[in-house]
Amino acid sequence: MNATVAGAPVSFGVFELTPEGSEIVSPDELLESLAAAGYRGVDLGPEGYLGRGPELRARLDRFGLDLAGGWVQLPLTDDDAFEASLPTLRSVLRRFSEGAERGPARLPLPTLADDGSATRKAHPGRGEEVDPLAATAWHRLLANLETAARIVREAGFEPTFHHHAGTFVESPAEIDHFLAHSDVGLTLDTGHLFIAGGDPAEAIRRWGDRINHLHLKDVDVGRLRGVLSAGGGMREVWSGGAFVAFGRGDVDLEGVMEAMQRRAYDGWVVVEQDVLNGPSAPIAEFLASRSVDQRINRGALSRWV
């Protein structure tokens, strides 16, 4: 397997849903922690978090890291909202261009995702049951995704699509439908697939030819079920500690990595351990805990990459 391992700001509580008022890990602290643990790349995180222009490039250079990708959430089933979101997509693509201006061996992949609905976000893993997508809405989703993919390719990058709990492409059947009607590659996310009732190792056998990006998570099924049975949505999944360090959860990491190795996967492996820190969490302790987990996670992959 010719893969490159990256970390992600979400593993340090830094993403779009970080609670307002929470102190966050600084970008330099985050990158220093990842570099020290042996990561070679990092996801973009919220636009501007790692900087813009020369600041972004200088920061990546200082820690010897390249951009692996970055989350771009788009309201794909709403034509007007989608059109209004395109300036944001183009702005994020400028960050990718700035981050990749040295011509790294492995370019970042803009990671496109559907925005889902409030109902789906409140019932992760049950989207087809609580908020099924009509055929006309599927058509809009796929057409708008095609437009987004064209914009990404015109900017010089290859897009990838992230199935995500709480969105309209969540379950294995919905992923099947997406793949049958789009030429965009798939970001396989082991944690989100687990939430939607899928098996990551089986997913590689089923969709391996289309996987061009890998997000690795481990999931504590007991915690996850506790959150969902109590009526929690995705915010509660993130804040409830359902995503844990490798080896502490129930995802078959060895099965996933062996399956990817058999397919001679050549791409980014992004380690994500999504967590939300509360407003009162002591940031130094939080950073230390997250750093320990990321060392564990990187070490767990050393057999393969």
Judged by DSSP in three states, 59 sits in helix
What's the pLDDT tens digit per position in 14-63?
987 776 777 899 999 999 999 999 999 999 999 999 999 999 999 999 99
Q: How many CA atoms lie within 13 A of 70 on its CB side?
A: 30
Give me the pLDDT at residue 19, please: 66
CB neighbour list of residue 259: distance below 8 Å, 6 or more residues apart: 201, 204, 205, 208
CA end-to-end span of the chain: 7
- Separation of alpha carbons 261 and 275, rounded Å: 28
Q: Which of 33-47, 177-191, 219-233 has the lowest mean pLDDT?
A: 219-233
Give the residue among 175, 180, 213, 206 at the shortest CA–CA distance from 193: 175
Q: How many of the other CB atoms lie within 10 Å of CB of 8? A: 27
Strands 185-189 vs 4-7: parallel, antiparallel or unpaired: unpaired
Q: How confident is the model at residue 240 (pLDDT cuts 50, 70, 90)?
A: confident
What tens digit of pLDDT does each residue of 129-154 get? 999 999 999 999 999 999 999 999 99
DSSP-based three-state secondary structure for 269: strand
Q: Beta strand pairing status for 268-271 and 211-216?
A: parallel
Average pLDDT, the chain: 94
Nearest alpha-carbon partner for 57 in 66, 46, 68? 66
Q: Bridge-partner residues for 109, per DSSP? A: 69
The answer to whether the CB of 40 falls within 8 A of the CB of 258 is no
Q: What is the DSSP track for 271-286?
A: E-------TTS-HHHH
